[in-house]
Amino acid sequence: MWQGIVCSLALCLVGLADLGIANNLAGYEGYTKYTVQHGDEDAFKYMVDLQTNDAELDFWLLTRNSSVLTVSPRRKTQFEASLSSLGVSYEMQPLMELMAALQANSSFAEDNYDAEYEECQQEECEEAERPRRRARRQARGFFSHYPRYHEVLSFMSGLAARYPQYCRYESLGRSNEGRHIAALSISLNSRVRPRRVAYIQAATHGREWITTQTVLYLAYELLSNLRAFTRVLQDVEIFLVPLVNPDGYEYTHTTDRFWRKNRHRYAGHSCSGVDINRNFGNHWNYQGASQNLCSEVYSGTAPNSEPETSAVVRYLEFNRNRVKLSLDVHSFGKFIFYPYGYAKNTVPPTVGTLRSVALRAANQIGRYRGTRYTTGTSASILYEASGSLDDFAYGNLGIPLSYTLELPGDEFHVPAHDIIHVCKETFAGFIEFIRHVSLY
């Protein structure tokens, strides 16, 4: 028995190092993840205040009913005391235990894939089928792990090289650390003008890895089956930005798995980073945002102060008459949010349309394997937060269909075997949203 315990402990320790878990989790030893059920409005308000003003707590999810957050060992006792005085119930788990469990199932046996991915035997393959099968094989590998920045870029440029008639690879500008904010434009009839634009972006928050994969899967699936999507793509250009925050995304791979903001550094300050989703120019810094640069929701020095924000704004403003759909893909919670998110009880004039399109998309997503999304404004379901893309696109640019999606998951690390399924179900939602673009 003792031997068994020693072995499993040793395995566990070796496993952590071997699996590369140490690099981007260094410094998180002793952290605890809390799942708190808010009894009443007071407890919720208390949590919102902590999210905005307490830079030592990191909220992964905060809704009216519950929150998920991590707390440092230094703050543990104090935090638990405040939970007791609020009288709320909660569960806790050591963060490292959770991460080890997630990491353990992160290598995925590829033979678990659907039959549709299976290849024919070498001799059965028609000559003409080979490149297609090779592409499928590559895609199979690509959607079974979380790629680094350079892998994302080569996947994108690979698609553009393979489908030059239908796909253009470009850069919207550079990030704080000089990385390209890469984009793909997909369109069937580049001669049809003007084409309406469906704009979709992901990874505004560095740690929300699954979001990038769903947007890349959309590009891959559309381009590999163009004929099936002729109607959807008839007069629509699809513009995809899978990594709005490439610096934050890389940082989560190399240094800090839970990094949310961009990597703006300020001379003389130890804290860094701006929350890009608080930096847009709609009710900037009004609510749910902070001017403390250590805060997870630091809104920056001014609206659009960040190169990542202004790259997106420049593109959307330049194309404002053509862009009919803006989707900002986040993780997690299974929500589709429409404006406004900056304040409660502020109803946009076209709320009926916004709601019905959201419901249709949620319904399409559910058809794949029953995943149930909740739709509404983020101010009513989550918390009031201003300076986000959804409000800016709708309120400032008049883009009629503007949404934030929160993909499924219980934490930021969707297990590797589930990536493809989240991609497929989300694809159905994306297509439903895009179908509505032609109506404007």
Query: Which of 103, 213, 277, 426 touches ligand 0X9 (CB under 6 A)?
Result: 277
Look at the alpha carbons of 105, 111, 114, 117 in this order and tell me if their dihedral is positive or negative: positive
Q: Is the peptide bond before 340 cis (omega within 30 degrees of 0)?
A: yes
Q: Which of the listed partners (Zn ion, ligand 0X9, none) does 341 bind, with a CB threshold of 5 to 8 Å by partner kind? A: ligand 0X9
Query: Which residues partner with 330 through β-bridges?
Result: 406
Query: Which of 278, 330, 413, 435 touches Zn ion (CB under 5 A)?
Result: 330
Task: Indicate if 406 belongs to the active site.
Answer: yes
Considering the complex, state which of residue 71 and residue 222 has its C-beta at the smaller distance from ligand 0X9.
Answer: 71
Catalytic, out of 406, 411, 425, 432: 406
Q: Which of the listed partners (Zn ion, ligand 0X9, none) does 248 bind, with a CB threshold of 5 to 8 Å by partner kind? A: none
Q: Which of these segments, 32-40, 213-221, 329-337, 346-354, binds Zn ion (CB under 5 A)?
A: 329-337
In the stretch 188-207, what mask flags binding to ligand 0X9 with x, by CB under 6 A? -----------------x--
Q: Which of these segments, 199-207, 292-300, 342-350, 360-368, binds Zn ion (CB under 5 A)?
A: 199-207
Where is 106: in which H helix or E strand?
A: none
Position 385 contacts ligand 0X9 (CB under 6 A) = yes
Position 261 contacts Zn ion (CB under 5 A) = no
Q: Which of these segments, 74-82, 99-107, 388-396, 427-435, binds ligand 0X9 (CB under 6 A)?
A: 388-396
Closest CA to 366 of 437, 421, 438: 421
The DSSP string of 168-237 is EEEEEEE-TTS-EEEEEEE-S-TTSSSPEEEEEEE-SSTT-HHHHHHHHHHHHHHHHTGGGGTTTTTTEE
Considering the complex, state which of residue 199 and residue 337 has its C-beta at the smaller distance from ligand 0X9.
Answer: 337
| Residue showing tokens 């920056």 | 300
Closest CA to 199 of 350, 351, 313, 364: 313
Position 207 contacts Zn ion (CB under 5 A) = no
Position 205 contacts Zn ion (CB under 5 A) = yes
Q: How far is the CB of 12 from ligand 0X9 (least distance, A)?
A: 30
- Measured CA to CA in angstroms, residue 102 lies from 107, 419, 429 at distances of 10, 13, 27
Distance CA 309, CA 174 (A): 11
Look at the alpha carbons of 98, 103, 105, 106 in this order and tell me if their dihedral is positive or negative: positive
Position 341 contacts ligand 0X9 (CB under 6 A) = yes
Q: Which of the listed partners (Zn ion, ligand 0X9, none) does 378 bind, with a CB threshold of 5 to 8 Å by partner kind? A: ligand 0X9
User: What letter represents residue 276's amino acid?
Assistant: I
Binding site for ligand 0X9 (CB under 6 A): 205, 277, 330, 337, 341, 378, 385, 388, 390-391, 404, 406
Give the residue numbers annotated as catalytic, written as ranges. Answer: 406
